[in-house]
Amino acid sequence: QKEVEQDPGPLSVPEGAIVSLNCTYSNSAFQYFMWYRQYSRKGPELLMYTYSSGNKEDGRFTAQVDKSSKYISLFIRDSQPSDSATYLCAMSENGGFKTIFGAGTRLFVKA
Amino acid sequence: DGGITQSPKYLFRKEGQNVTLSCEQNLNHDAMYWYRQDPGQGLRLIYYSQIVNDFQKGDIAEGYSVSREKKESFPLTVTSAQKNPTAFYLCASSPAGNSPLHFGNGTRLTVT
């Protein structure tokens, strides 16, 4: 079993839809949770960074962490064609240098 | 602009040859990392360095080697011992542990 599970998709939605992306994990020691966006043939760029459980909002993006269920989510409101990319969840333990990534979900937003 | 520069963008080698991928950062970050990305597998950690002259193996270090002689530079050598070297290689840096990673734009290595 992988430490971090993420549905690879692809996920296709119409412009303006609310997108929900999710990851589950097995290591209860994970404390830091991240979402990265990766465009084709580019490096990942950080979207959201949260510590422990709770919600964090930044513009059209909301990250949720439920440590009791070992489940994290990223919501994208009013999705745009420019949001079409691969979204990677990532997490790490306290004091660690090893960040573990999910496989990534490919998202297509149709105009 | 601060960032991470990986070169070259595309690299082609024959089987049996060693090849070195370059990674330079001007973010003044202490920690640097090398990840490998394969379709459907996400990013897997090859090596990381917390500080100059020190580095640790990640989850898939076999067939790879690194050096960290300068804070700004963390080159990765893919040796002939790496059985499946064709992949997208990503270099990253962070100020410290548990800090978000800043990535370069990768080097796509093809070995035939």
Beta strand B42-51 with B54-57 is: antiparallel
In chain A, residues with a C-beta closer than 8 Å to the C-beta of B100 are 34, 46, 49
Q: Which residue of B has its CA nearest to A96?
A: B97
Q: Contact B48/A97, CB-based, under 8 Å?
A: yes
Q: pLDDT tens for residues A12-71? A: 999 999 999 999 999 999 999 999 999 999 999 999 999 988 899 999 999 999 999 999
Predicted confidence (pLDDT) at residue B98 exceeds the cutoff of 90:
no
Question: Residue A82 — φ and ψ, nearest 5°?
Answer: -70, -10
Specify the pLDDT at position B100: 93
Chain A touched by B100 (CB under 8 Å):
yes
- Of the partner residues B40, B98, B108, the one whose CB lies closest to the CB of residue A92: B98
Predicted confidence (pLDDT) at residue A1 exceeds the cutoff of 80:
no
Which residue has better confidence, A2 or B7? Answer: B7
Chain B touched by A41 (CB under 8 Å):
yes
**DSSP per-residue string spanning A16-83:** T--EEEEEEE--TTEEEEEEEEE-TTS--EEEEEEESSEEEEETTEEEEEETTTTEEEEEESS--GGG
Q: What CA–CA distance (Å, rounded) separates A71 from A83?
A: 22
Q: Which residue of B has its CA nearest to A30?
A: B98
Q: pLDDT tens for residues B12-50? A: 999 999 999 999 999 999 999 999 999 878 899 999 999
- Give me the residues of B, 31-70, that contact A with CB < 8 A: 31, 33, 35, 40-45, 48, 50, 56, 58-59
CA proximity to A35, closest of A80, A94, A99: A99
Specify the pLDDT at position B64: 98
Q: pLDDT tens for residues B55-97? A: 999 999 999 999 999 999 999 999 999 999 999 999 999 998 8
Q: Residue A108: beta bridge partners?
A: A12
Q: Contact A4/B42, CB-based, under 8 Å?
A: yes
pLDDT tier at B1 (50, 70, 90 boundaries)? low
> What's the one-letter identity of residue B5?
T
